Amino acid sequence: DNEKQMSEWNFEVANTDTLFDLFNKAAAECENCLDKKLPIPAYEQAIKASHVFNLLQARGVISVQERASYMGRVRDLAKGSCEAHMLKNGWAA
């Protein structure tokens, strides 16, 4: 039942405008965390943005051209988080 309900929400019910808003908020919060030198929370926000991107893509509301842009943005957020983590721990970036 859990899988059925979540699938219905993911693929049919979730408000896509809200999902776009959630993506933008997670990306902004990731950048905020990076500005504050908090790489672990930044990475968590990058993962949230990635998950929401996957939902939007599965719903078919992101065009092929937009897809590349969103993927690049998620990649940059994750990369920034990882680089910040390396710097915070004294590892070469």
Q: What is the DSSP string of the chain?
A: -HHHHHHHIIIIIS-HHHHHHHHHHHHHHHHHHHHTT-HHHHHHHHHHHHHHHHHHHHHT-S-HHHHHHHHHHHHHHHHHHHHHHHHHTT---
Would you state the pLDDT for residue 24?
Answer: 98
**Domain 16-88: what homologous superfamily?**
Class II aaRS and biotin synthetases; domain 2 (1.20.58.180)
Instruction: For residue range 3-14, list pLDDT tens digits in order.
Output: 999 999 999 999
Report pTM. 0.91
Write out pLDDT tens, residues 34-66. 999 999 999 999 999 999 999 999 999 999 999
Domains of the chain by residue range: 16-88
CA dist 90 and 93 (Å) reads 9
Q: What pLDDT sits at residue 49?
A: 98
Per-residue pLDDT tens for 76-85?
Answer: 999 999 999 9
Would you say the C-alpha torsion 32, 42, 79, 87 has a positive or negative sign?
positive
